[in-house]
Structure 1
Amino acid sequence: MTRANAPTNHPQAGFTLIELLVAMTLLGLVLGAAAGGVQLAGRAHERGTAMLAETAAFAVTEDLLRRQIGRGFPLAVGLAREATYVFTGETAQLATPVFGDPAREGAGLHLAVFRVEDSPSGARLVYREHRLLTRPGIQALEPPLRAATLLDGPYRLALGYHDGARWLDRWSAKQDLPHLVRLSLRGLDGKTLWPDIVIRPHSDGDRGCLSAAPLLCRDAPIPP
C-alpha cells in the first residue's frame, strides 16, 4: 500500500519579481540621494573655495593700495604758487609717485598706477608700476616694472577723493592733494562686497623744487 504524497509547507527559496522590483527601486533612490549629496558637497566646496579666493584678492588689493598710496611721495613741479602736484585722480584711474624698493630695483621714483578696466565678467582692477623720470620732464617709462590684475569679476569698482568736505569722483585741485582716497567695491546688483578701502595719502613734501634742482630738495620754501 502506497502512501499519498504529503503536501509540503516549506516556503519557496529566492525572491519574487515584485520583491526584486521594490529592492531595485529602493536601491536607485538611495544611490540617487547619495549622488545628490556628493554633488551638493562638491558645489559647496567650490563656492567656499571661490569665496576664499575672492576674500584673499580683496585683502591683497587693500594691502597694496594702503602701502602705495600711504607712502606716495608728494612730488610737485613748477615754482612757488604755480607749483602743481604730480597726481592723477579719476574715477577709473589713480596715479601717484612712490619711492622704489632699493632691494629690488634700486632707489628712485616710480609711478604707481591703479586703473579700473571693463572685463567680460564686469570690471577688473589693474596695477602697474613704472620707473619715473623727472628730467627734463616728468615721464613714466615703458614697459612697466610690474604689472598685475588685482581684481577681476562681477564688480563695480570706483575710485573717489575727499577734499575735506565731500567725496569727489575726480580730483582737479592740482595744487593740493586729496585728504583721503577711496576704492568702492560693489556687486553688479549694487550690493557691497567689501568695505570701502579708505586711505590717507602721504602729503608732507616740498613743492616747486624740481624746476630749480636736479631732483628733490627740501630747502626751497614756498613764498607766502
Structure 2
Amino acid sequence: MKKTNLTKDNRRSGFTLIEMLIAMGLFGVVSAISAGGFIQAFRTQRQTAAMYAANDAVAFAIEQMTREIRTGTNFSIPAVGQIIFKNDSGQDIAYCFDAVNKYLARSSSGDCASAVRLTGTSVRVNSVDYDFAAQAAGFPMRVVIRMSVSPTGDPAIANSSFKLQTTVSPRNL
C-alpha cells in the first residue's frame, strides 16, 4: 500500500467550499436574470403576433368597406356604428357594428338584423364611427371610418387596443 504524501502544493489545488458556493450563487443569479429576459421576449413576441393577426382581420374588413363605399351612392348614417348606402349594383348595403358581441357586420338588404359577421374571431371591435368629412366647393363628399380594435385570445393583451382611421372618397361616375 502506498502512502500519500500531503505536501503544501497538493493542499492548495482545487476550490474551497466557500469559493464553490459563491460561484454557484453567481451562476444561479445570472441564470435567473437571463431566463427572465427570455420569458419576457417570448411574451412580447406572442403579443406582437396577436396584434398582427388582429390588424390583418380588420384590414380585410376595411378593404371591403372602402371598395364598396368608393362605388356607392345615397349615403346615410342612421345610428352610431351604422352606414347605409346603395352599391354599384343598386343593392342597399349596410355596415353595422354589433356593440354587444363586438364585431362588424355587413348586410346586402340594408337591414342590420340580417347582417353577416365581417370581422374574424381573432379581433374584438370596440367601437366604429362613420362620419361625412366637410366638403369644400368642387370636391366630392368623403366618408371617414374610425375604428378601435383589440386582439382576442391572449389575456396578457386583453386590454390593449389600437385605433384605425381611413377616409374614402366615393366616385361620382
Q: Closer, same or farther in 2 for the Cα pair 1:110/1:91, shift >3 Å? A: same
Would you tell me which structure has more helix in proportion to its own residues? 2
How far did 1:162 drift? 3.2
Asked if structure 1 preserves the Cα contact closer than 8 Å seen for 2:127 and 2:149, the reply is yes
- Classify the secondary structure of the residue corresponding to 1:201: coil
Give the one of 97, 100, 112 matched to 2:93: 112
1:96 matches 2:85: yes
SS, match of residue 97 in structure 2: strand
What pairs with 1:141-180 in structure 2 (closer than 5 Å)?
143-144=114-115, 146-149=116-119, 152-153=124-125, 155-162=126-133, 164=135, 179-180=141-142
What is the CA RMSD across the aligned residues, in angstroms? 3.6
- Displacement of 1:25 in angstroms is 0.4
Partner of 2:155: none
* Matched-pair contact (CA < 8 Å) for 1:114–1:125: no
Q: How far apart, CA to CA, are the structure 2 residues paired with 1:141 and 1:38?
A: 47
Say which SS state the counterpart of residue 135 (structure 2) adopts.
Answer: coil
In the alignment, is residue 198 of structure 1 matched against residue 167 of structure 2? yes
Which amino acid in the other structure matches residue 49 of structure 1?
A
Classify 1:51/1:187 alpha carbon distance in 2 versus 1 (closer, same or farther; 3 Å): closer
8 Å Cα contact 1:185-1:193 kept in structure 2:
yes
Q: Deviations over 1:59-106 (max 9, x none)?
A: 32331121111122x3xxxxxxxxxx5x4314320122325xxxxxxx
Contact 1:157 1:184 in 2 (8 A): yes
Deviation string 1:19-66 (CA, Å, 9 cap, x unpaired) is 221122012112102211211211221232133223323432331121
Normalised to the residue count of structure 1, the TM-score between the two structures is: 0.53
Letter in 2 for 1:8: T
Q: Distance in 2 between matches of 1:30 and 1:12?
A: 28
Relative contact order (C-alpha < 8 Å, sep 6+): which is higher?
1
Q: Which structure 1 residue ranges, 5 or more long, are not aligned?
A: 1-5, 75-84, 100-107, 133-138, 166-177, 205-224
Structure 1 position 68 matched with structure 2 position 30: no
5 Å-filtered alignment, 1:131-150, equals 132=109, 143-144=114-115, 146-149=116-119
Structure 1 pair 187–126 and aligned structure 2 pair: CA distance change class (3 A): closer
What is the alpha-carbon distance in structure 2 between the residues aligned to residue 192 and residue 25 of structure 1? Answer: 44
Asked whether the 8 Å contact 1:91–1:160 carries over to 2, the reply is no
Distance of 2:44 and 2:33 partners within structure 1: 16
TM-score, length basis structure 2: 0.66
Correspondence for 2:39 = 39
How high is the sequence identity, in percent, across the aligned residues?
Answer: 22
Aligned residue pairs, count? 152
Q: Matches of 2:128 and 2:113 in 1, distance apart?
A: 26
State yes or no: 1:25 paired with 2:25: yes
Match in the other structure for 1:128: 106
Query: Structure 2: which 5+ residue stretches go unaligned?
Result: 151-160
